Amino acid sequence: MDNHLVYVKTPIGDEAVRQSTRVVKRNLRMVLVQVDGKLSVAELSDKIGNPQMVEAALRELESDGFIAPTLEGVSVWEAAKARAAAPVSEFSTFGPMAGASSNSGYSKAMASNFSDFGKLNQANRPYENRLPDAPGVMVAEKREVFSDRKPLPWGRLFFLAILAALLVGVGTLLFYPYERLLPGLEAAGSQYLKMPVKIGSLQIRYLPKPALVLSNTRLGSQGDVSIETISFSPWSLLGSGKHDIQRLDIAGVSFPAERLQDLPLFASSVSAAQNPFSVRQITIDRLKVKAGDLHLDGLIGKILLRGDGIAEKAEFQTVDRSIRLSVAPSASGVLLGVEGFGWKPFSNQAISFDQLQAKGQVQGSKLLIHSFDTTLLGGVIKGSWMLDWTNGLAMAGDATLARLNARKVTAAFAPNFNLDGEMAGVLRLRSGGQDAASLWRNIEAGLDLTMTNGILQGIDLGEVFRRGPGSVVRGGGTKFDRLTGQVAINPRQISGRAMQLDAGMVVANGQFSTTPDQRVDADLSVTMKTSVAIQRLPVRVSGTLPDLSTIGSR
């Protein structure tokens, strides 16, 4: 091969460089890329560094019609351009291309690719690496022209559409006059709750996610239900027809318990066909439930609603989970379930419901606890209880006591009176007043008391009997096996009658009374049983707790 020969790419070779599948062999493609119509065979060999490989590749590329010597290569390009510009059919007959000499490399390539009958020579090489006929060159030229047209930027258009939608949404959130929604929201809320609704103000909150916030909302004709904030997604108000609000977040609620039965979500049945919207879930923070002057504060909870607007599940609890409430609708009222663990409902921290289980019902302004079972003051109390706040406050209850710790009982109700033992009995409780303070102050109760294995501190019956009539004993204590009696409690005094203390050899019977200033007076008949005789001694106990004096009468 002449080292001074300069090769140039043919149109098909130029296209093969752009389409990697036309020339697959690595050495051929490497040499084809370097052919630029300027470098000679010797310069290509020096540049690539393998003269034998370069010459072999050049021969094969030339025979396949991808390259041609410089003069013949120029004629090939001019013939291709003339053929492309001529108004002839792209489907011309096979044969040598006009304008190309029969001795040119391009003609040789045509001759090598097609037999005398125009059939494809399959033995030479794969079809995709062969030189097409002259019309094929024209098709390639047209394909190259069409490839210059850029496709539509669908991805960019899609991105711009999303961006425009976001901008419209943000603009709506920022500049929409939300105060215009107030009358419609008040009307829709009144229709949904079946009571007047008055909203103080409406704002839009952007973080952590967009929400409409209703502030200072009042429910009821007298506005006795107050809600600090109600928030929900603004997207739930889009469109027409019935709006579906997935979640309402409510905070700072003050709610009279008698209103429970007025709410459609706690009714036994309700028609939701004309409701302007439906709510799926309500979360409540800082709920205060009031029953007259009594209240249960600091509740959090969640209400799940059915499709007809009735509560499917409603649960509330304090932040420390000491009390849990479950609420469910019924035909006769709102059913109430109570669970307590370490609950301290009173300011007196000595009274703690270690465990509480109760079932009841709210009927208007009445709370009926049909049954409760609680671990309290070291023992178990079971019974029922009723609270009525229709006109002031009134309550009544009945309970059975078992295994109460007498020391805990006296520490809670009479800290200056020391009494040990295990208490049991039946308790009946009644009270009434205009407020919570007067309700507890006016308690009247009756207790059929039974105590076992205890110690009566401050009264020593054995010592006063030993000293005899006229003796005075201060302090001490009397250990007993059993103590029974009937105890009455009212605002004026605590009294006991038919009291009987059995301390083995010593038996005492009598009565006692204690005033609110903790003044104690008791008259007892003490009997000493010995193996030879039975002796009796009247005894009087008096003093102010905890200092008591036991005096033997003559």
The answer to whether residue 89 scores a pLDDT higher than 60 is no
pLDDT at 357 over 60: yes
What pLDDT is recorded for position 227?
94
- From residue 48, how far is each of 22, 65, 451 by CA, in Å? 22, 22, 114
- pLDDT for the residue numbered 261: 83
Checking if the pLDDT of 454 tops 80, the result is: yes
215: which strand partners?
201, 229
What is the mean predicted confidence (pLDDT) over 33-55?
A: 84
497's CB contacts (< 8 A; 6+ apart) are 485, 486, 488, 511
Q: Which of 85-99, 343-357, 494-508 has the lowest mean pLDDT?
A: 85-99
More confident call, 24 vs 209: 209
The answer for residues whose C-beta is within 8 angstroms of residue 135's C-beta and 6 or more apart is: 83, 89, 90, 91, 92
Q: What pLDDT shows up at residue 71?
A: 64
Q: Is the torsion defined by CA of 15, 17, 23, 27 positive or negative?
A: positive
Q: How far is CA 284 from CA 84, 88, 230, 268, 319, in A?
A: 80, 84, 9, 22, 12
Q: Please determine, for residue 532, whether its predicted confidence score (pLDDT) is greater than 90.
A: no
Are 368 and 261 spatial neighbours (Cβ–Cβ below 8 Å)?
no
- Decide if pLDDT at 466 tops 90: no
pLDDT in tens, 187-227: 888 888 888 999 998 888 878 888 889 999 999 888 889 99
pLDDT tens string 275-330: 778 889 999 999 999 998 888 899 999 999 988 888 889 999 999 899 999 999 88
Sorted by where each begins, the domain ranges of the chain are 7-146, 177-364, 379-552
Cα 414 → chain centroid: 46
pLDDT of 193: 86
Q: What is the 3-state secondary structure (H, E, C) of 203-248?
A: EEECCCCCEEEEEEEEECCCCCEEEEEEEECHHHHCCCCCEEEEEE
Provide the token pair at 292: 């007259």
Query: Highest mean pLDDT: which of 71-80, 352-361, 526-535?
Result: 352-361
Residue 84: its pLDDT value, please? Answer: 55
Per-range mean pLDDT, top range of 41-50, 120-129, 499-508: 499-508
Q: What totals of helices (H) and strands (E) does the chain contain, helices first?
A: 12, 24
As a whole number, the mean pLDDT across the chain is 80
Comparing 528 with 428, which gets the higher pLDDT?
428
**Per-residue pLDDT at 349:** 63
Residue 158: pLDDT above 50? yes
Q: Among 50-64, 364-378, 459-473, 528-542, name the most confident range.
A: 364-378
Assign residue 458 a region: left if phi > 0, alpha if psi is -120 to 50, beta otherwise? left
Long-range contacts of 312-316 (CB under 8 A, 24+ apart): 314/266, 316/284, 316/287
Per-residue pLDDT band at 344 (split at 50, 70, 90): confident
The pLDDT value recorded for residue 481 is 93
Lowest model confidence (mean pLDDT) among 175-179, 206-210, 241-245: 175-179
pLDDT digits (tens, 9 = 90+) for 100-156: 444 444 344 333 443 333 343 433 444 344 444 444 344 344 444 444 455 657 766
